[in-house]
Every structure is written in C-alpha cells, then in structure tokens.
Amino acid sequence: MLTLNSEICTGCGICVNVCPHGVFTLAGKKANIEFDNRCIECGACHLNCPVEAIYVTKGTGCLVAIIREDILKTTPQGCG
C-alpha cells in the first residue's frame, strides 16, 4: 500500500523522477498518486523523498505477489 502525506509534500518532484512505473504526477505544486495500481513497492519514492511524505507498506503489493508466484508457483492476486 502506498500512502502520500500531501500536507508535508513540498512538490519537489523527486518521486515523479525516481518511480520506475510512473505512479506519481505533480498537480498544484504537490505530488499526487495517479496510478497506484502500478506500484510494485520498490520503495524508491519513500527512500528519496526529502520530507518523508511517502510511505510504502511492504508485503501488500505486486512485487511481493510476483516473488510468491515464483517461489510457490502460484498466480499473483491483485496485481494491477
């Protein structure tokens, strides 16, 4: 799960630049989670946000599902 605290977001745009799947856009000088279904929980946005406005809940998204699929030979559930 991806969470953005827009109250502390400064609109620097780093999340837009580091996200490999284009999850974020900038609108009104603030970051916006535009395509949350694309998030694979890589954590790049969280690690690079200078004001810690972005939080990624590990173990709930596509990346985990893909790893489980590979290890357990199952079909990913909920991957957007």
Give the per-residue pLDDT at 4: 97
Domains of the chain: 2-72 (3.30.70.20)
Amino acid identity of residue 30, one-letter, is K
Give the per-residue pLDDT at 9: 98
Please name the residues in contact with 58: beta carbons below 8 A apart, sequence gap of 6 or more. 41, 43, 64
3-state secondary structure (DSSP) of residue 14: helix
Give the per-residue pLDDT at 71: 80
Digits of tens for pLDDT over the chain (80 positions)? 899 999 999 999 999 999 999 999 999 899 999 998 888 888 899 999 999 999 998 765 566 666 667 787 766 555 54
Q: Is the CB of residue 11 less than 8 Å from the CB of residue 29?
A: yes
| pTM of the predicted protein model | 0.73
Radius of gyration over every alpha carbon of the chain, rounded to an integer in angstroms = 13
